[in-house]
Amino acid sequence: MTLRYHLVIKGGTLCTPGGPIVADVGIREGRIAAIGALGADAHAAEVIDATGLHVLPGIIDAQVHFREPGFPHKEDLASGTAAAVLGGVTAVLEMPNTDPPTTSAHAMADKVARLRDRARCDVGFFVGATPDNASELDELEVLPGCAGVKVFMGSSTGSLLVADDEALAAVFAHGVRRVAVHAEDEARLIERKPIATAAADPRAHPEWRDAETALRATWRAVALARRFGRRVHVLHVTSADECELLATAKDIATFEIPPQHLTLAAPDCYQALGTRAQMNPPIRDAHHQAALWASIASGACDMLATDHAPHTLEEKARTYPASPSGMPGVQTFLPIMLDHVAAGRLSLARLIDLMSAGPARVWGLAAKGRLAVGFDGDLTLVDLAAKRTIRAADGASRCGWTPFEGREVTGWPIATIVRGHVVMRDGQLIGDAIGRPLRFVETLAAVAPP
Ligand code: DOR
């Protein structure tokens, strides 16, 4: 008997582009080969009974900091991707503020090489723009595994920064792929830093790095995109003002919202979590949070991403603002958002749009983001009714904590499948680290076929 499929998932509710259907899905050689009632024909090496579960296209977190090379005490590619698949995430895009930063062809090749036998999901890497490497970006952005160019317009963790208009113009003038921007205005950050220093309290964080700081940089990024005819993606949008601006720029700009900003709000989060709630751009008040949800509801927001940015509790214990900004999120991404689905704040279809199809479209991830024949066999099986409690003790992140400790949620990932490999089931990591560099539709010619 010849095997028709390597893996068959039977009887789940498949979240297909045409809507939910109860059916089977067969995966052969890493790709979705059939959807329907596979019946007795379904000779398979492995069969998963998904009765009662929803089968989602693999969840993608397009903004994570996995700290390798440079900061293995916070995270590395092995621990970060383990956290990802435990949380139902099948692919991630990793940020360049490592040590050394990913600002050269050598650093990019080094990161890609580090994936082998260590990554549990597929990974792409952003190359970091600097005031000195702009003229090389045309060549850097097409390297295998490269997701595109990331620009820190304002200082955050690490030394990457391109703040002035001339240097930013040089970045936008080189290359053709969508540019990712961390939009906080550096001049205003410097001017207002005394607010943070004087307060010595993380409650001042959204006042120092205020909504105007974010709006000014986002406005400049959109203006540069128009001037150079270059697509731009605004990372972690956090304010009502940016949502309003970006809803007028859908022809050239995409944007993402972090789940933390949809879930936590000032001042309570700073009261409860102290510096653990400190991230850049900051978590803001209920007014801004309502605008973020409105942008989810209106369809203007393209995608969600966590900005998973682990720091140890010891580092977080420094007196604000010496405490580093950032919090882990990749493992809690899906549980937190499924809980919002259970609470009626968004539909499951919109969750998939924001957390799978959206990132695949924005970043041109080849064969990802769609539960459909021919696409990669990346699937996330979820139990929408499961009630669980989020615990850092169940997490794989090296940082050892979560801002959502003790939170009860409804909805939980039960299995994670990457290109037909079952890599997580019932909270257990399974098998070898089979993660590979992601392939991008705009640069496929430069990358060996799978
Ligand atoms: O809060 C943040 N932490 N925002 C960033 O932009 C960087 C990140 C980090 O790398 O720690």
What domains are defined for the chain? 5-55+375-388+397-429 (2.30.40.10), 58-363 (3.20.20.140)
Per-residue pLDDT, 444 = 82
For residue 45, give both structure tokens.
């090496």
Cβ(413)–Cβ(380) below 8 Å: yes
Looking from the CA of residue 324, the nearest atom of ligand 1 is 11
Q: Is 256 helix (H, G, I), strand (E, B) or coil?
A: strand
309 lines ligand 1 (CB under 6 A): yes
Per-residue pLDDT, 1 = 54
326 lines ligand 1 (CB under 6 A): yes
Per-residue pLDDT, 43 = 84
Q: Which residues are catalytic?
A: 307
What Å distances lie between residue 390 and 60, 335, 414, 428, 442, CA to CA?
A: 20, 8, 14, 15, 38
Q: For atom 7 of ligand 1, which residue has the closest CA?
A: 157
Q: How far is the CA of 448 from the centre of ligand 1 (A)?
A: 32
Looking from the CA of residue 310, the nearest atom of ligand 1 is 11
Per-residue pLDDT, 450 = 47
Query: Given its phi and psi angles, is residue 419 left (phi above 0), alpha (psi -120 to 50 degrees) or beta?
Result: left
128-150 pLDDT, tens digit per residue, is: 999 999 999 999 999 999 999 99
Closest CA to 251 of 226, 215, 214: 226
Q: For atom 4 of ligand 1, which residue has the closest CA?
A: 280
Per-residue pLDDT, 39 = 75
Per-residue pLDDT, 41 = 65
275 lines ligand 1 (CB under 6 A): no
The segments of the chain whose pLDDT lies below 50 read: 446-450
The Cα–Cα gap between 120 and 428 comes to 12
The Cα–Cα gap between 92 and 423 comes to 15
The residue to mutate among 97, 157, 237, having the most atoms of ligand 1 within 8 angstroms of its beta carbon, is 157
| Whole-angstrom Cα Rg for the chain | 21
